[in-house]
Every structure is written in structure tokens, then in C-alpha cells.
Amino acid sequence: MTYAPKHAMVRRWWTLAVLSTASLMVVLDATVINIALPRAQLSLGFSTANRQWVITAYALAFGSLLLLGGRLSDLWGRRNALYIGLTGFAVASAIGGAAHSFSMLVTARAIQGAFGAVLAPAALATLTTTFQDPKERAKAFSIYGAITASGAAIGLLLGGALTQWASWRWCLFINLFFAAIALVGVLLFVIPGKSEHDTKLDALGAVLGSGGLFFVVYGLSHAVSTSWSDVITWGSLVMGLLLLLLFVKWQQRSKFPLLPLRIVMNRTRGGSLIALFITSIGIFGISLFLAYYLQTTLGYSPLRTGVAFLPLVAAIAFSATMASARLLAKTGPRPLVPAGMILGMLGTVLFTRLTAHPDYIGHVLPGLIVTGLGLGLIFAPATASATASIKHSDAGATSAMVSTTQQIGGSMGTSLLNTIAVSATMGVLRHSHPSFTAAAERAYKTHAILHGYSMAFWWCAIFFGVGALVTFALLESGVPELEGELLPLL
């Protein structure tokens, strides 16, 4: 066995810190602006109907361009893609933070999403080709997975603190600090990866794939503000699925496919992608409804809401770095991911017991801890096994597929679970009695809202339960072998 020099080992761990910082910036930006939206709306004077576009613009650009961004990182080289992604993201954040109009803010958020679609796959691809020793790889992906899985909750905490103590604009300006640190880190620690000059960009595949993902994400986002029965929702989803079907057909014929289909045909990789998809549905749903519950039902401030999510972050970090890092290199993903799914299911079942009475320790904290322990067992092993056994030339495309799966899962979780909650709430409110006093009416409305949350959490639990069965059936025992043309040890 060949041992890498000590300085090379240290360099790899510094590379992990840099990539984790870059990925955290991209992930938390999906939620950091959420708590700041009311203040931003007051400052720029846009309507409540348009408020959703501040979130949707980011999700649309990010989700639709991920496959293209991943392939570009293969063509340009990982470090070049990181430079471009970080710089573009920082510039867009500065523009958004200084926005003096609604259109300027939305445009900046879309540009953020576009550069995030280059940055996220490049970061994961660099991590994939940097850590190849099974024990080091397990530990690295455990840390990376813990940070990624915690991103949504950290975004809520950071957004609440910045909004309450400074200004909503700092929810965007803060990215300049993240990007600056990451850029210096890339310069110092990330080894330049070769670009694939013999590979050409699949232009038609980029149009079909990006177009298909755009319409799918748009349809899911539109369902949040309207309904699943809305013609634009269904029309967008049908158009998106049709374009994605054409994309798959074209990838089978293309000489330089944007997404080589061999990437997704592996059994363990397929099971890992399904695990990440289902988990993203769950974590975005949990973050959404718990944030609503804590602020609207219990009357928490934005900052206190963010702090309330800290046990979730701590549980994820503990589970990922302690359990996954120690076991993944020995057992592989099969025992860990289904166990994490079962814990996620139990945690979301605990959330179905939420009441209008402020009892954080009794009704919120247990669910956060159990769910966090489960998520830590899922993200790291699933991400590691999804990116194992790939050629160096496919690292960007594979990483983009992982990010795309999580983005679509998050969008579907937000829209589907929100629809379920609203429908359940309206079903209860239809039985409201006209003779209710004002106090009784408020109490009944709160009961209806909590019933909606409960139904959404029950569906979250069902998704996790199905995920446990599917991943147990698909994932293989043992550690996936690293095959193909990988970068040598640094």
C-alpha cells in the first residue's frame, strides 16, 4: 500500500473545508432569504403575490442548469469551475443585496442560481476525485454530508439573526464573506483537475435537459402558489417530462452526452439517488412547516425560530460524523441508509403531535433529534455511494445528477406537502360553525392549521417508510469499489 505524504493528507482535509464552505453557501441560500422576505417586501414595495419569485427565481435557475453546470466543470476543469462559480455567485449576491427594485432583486437571485449550478457539481466532483481511500472517503463524505444536510436549517438561523440584528440585505451580502474565504482556499489547496478537451458540449442535450428541468421546477413552484389542478402547473409538468423523455432518448444517441446514461444505470447509485430524492422531500417539508409553526402558531421571532432548529443541526452532525464516518468504510451504505430512513419516519411521526400550546421541549425537540440522527445516516453514505465507481471524466456529470436529484426532491417536497397541508386545513375549515365567538373561531382556525401540518408530516413519514424499503432492496452490501479513471492521490 502506498501512503501519501503527510502534507498531501493535510491538503486534502483543507480542500474538504473549502468545498464544504462553498457548498454550504449554495445550500443555505435556498432558505436564508425566506425569513427576510417580509422586510425585503416592505423595503422594495413589491406585492405579496410577487414575493414567491424571490425564492422561485433561484430555484428555477439552479435546478434547470445543474446538468449543464456539471458537464461544464468536466470540460473546464474542477478548479476553473470553482473560480467561475464562486466569483459569479459573489457578484450576484452583491447586486441582490444592493437591489433598489423588485426586478433587480429577482434578476440577482436568478444569476445566483445559475452560478450555483456551476459551483455545486464542481465542489462535489472535486471532493469525489480527492478522497479515494475508503476510510478517508467515508469520513470526508460524512462531514460534507452533515454540512449539506444542515444547510437549510443553518439558513433559517442565519437569516433570522441577520434580519433581526442587521438588515435583510445582509442575507445576500454575507455570501461575499463565504465566497472570499472559499476562493482563497481554492487557490491554496485545490489541485487543478484536467479538463476533458476531447469532449464537446452536447448543445441539443443541454437545451432538452435544462428545458425539461426548468418546466418541472416551475410547475412544482407554481403549485405552491396556486394548486395542482391549475392548468399552468400541469402544463409545465407535462412539458418538462416530455422534454426530459426526449433528453433521455437523445443521450442514447449522442456522441458526447451531457449525462452519460451509464451513470444512472448502476444499482447502488440508483438506490442512492432515490435516497437523496426522498430525504430532500422530507427535510424541506420539515423546515417549511416547522418554521411556519414556530413563527405563526407559537409566535417565535425570526432569530428564535432559527435557534430552535439548532438541535436538528447538532443531531445531523453527530450522526454523520460519529456513526457514518465510523461505519461507512466497513459496512457500505445498505445498513445505514434504511436505518436512517426509519429514524426519519419516526421523527416526522413525532411532529404530528404538535399543539397550539408552547411546548418546544415536549413536542418539537424529540422530533428534531430523532429526524436529525436519521438524516445524518442517509446523506453521507448516499452521497458517497452515488459518486463512487465513476470515471474522472464523468465526475462533474455524476455530481450534477446528485445535486439535481436533491433540488427536484426539495421542490417537490415544498409544493406537494404544502398542497396536502392547505387541502387538509381547508377541509376542516369548511365545517366551521357560524355561531362561533371570535375566540372560538381563532381556536378552530389554529386547530385546522395544525391538522394540515399533521397530515403533511404523516405523508413525510410515508415517504421515509417507502424509502427504507426501496433502499434496502436496491443498495448492495459492502463498500462500492472505486473503478475507472480517477485522479491519483494528491
Render pLDDT for 421-445 as a digit per residue (tens, 0 to 9).
888 888 888 776 666 677 777 888 8
Nearest to 308 by CA among 277, 354, 259, 272: 354
Quickly state the pLDDT bin for 367 (edges 50, 70, 90): very high
Helix (H) or strand (E) holding 205: helix 203-225
pLDDT tens, residue by residue, 247-264: 999 998 888 888 888 887
Phi then psi for residue 48, to 5 deg, are: -65, -35
Q: How far, in Å, CA of 324 to CA of 143, rounded? A: 9
Distance CA 446, CA 169 (A): 32
* Spatial separation of the C-alpha atoms in residues 105 and 74, rounded to whole Å: 31
Confidence label for 105 from pLDDT (cuts 50, 70 and 90): very high
The distance of Cα 330 from the centroid of its chain, to the nearest Å, equals 27
Q: Say if CB 449 and CB 427 are below 8 A apart.
A: no
Nearest-angstrom CA–CA distance, 202 and 407: 22
Q: Scanning the structure block, which residue is given the C-alpha cell 377541509? A: 427
Q: Give dist(CA 430, CA 409) in Å, integer.
A: 31
Which superfamily does CATH assign the domain made up of 6-190+258-474 to? Answer: MFS general substrate transporter like domains (1.20.1250.20)
- Give the span between the Cα atoms of 319 and 146, in whole angstroms: 8
Is residue 152 classed as helix, strand or coil in its secondary structure?
Answer: helix
d(CA 466, CA 155): 28
Cα dihedral: 375, 412, 390, 152 (round 10): -40
Q: How many Cβ atoms sit within 10 Å of the Cβ of residue 267?
A: 11
Please give the average per-residue pLDDT across 471-489, as a whole number.
59
Domain limits of the chain? 6-190+258-474, 202-257
- pLDDT, residue 1, reads 41
Q: What is the pLDDT of residue 478?
A: 66
If you count DSSP H runs as helices and E runs as strands, how many of each does the chain have, helices first?
17, 0
Q: What is the mean pLDDT of residues 219-243?
A: 87
Q: Under the phi-then-psi rule, with left for phi > 0, alpha for psi from -120 to 50, and beta for the rest, what region is 178?
A: alpha
275-306 pLDDT, tens digit each: 999 998 888 778 878 888 888 888 888 788 88
Are the CB atoms for 264 and 389 separated by under 8 Å? no
CA dihedral sign of residues 301, 306, 312, 318: negative
Nearest to 385 by CA among 279, 272, 470: 272
Residue 53 predicted with pLDDT over 50: yes
The contacts of residue 263 (CB under 8 Å, 6+ apart) are: 269, 390, 394, 397, 398, 401
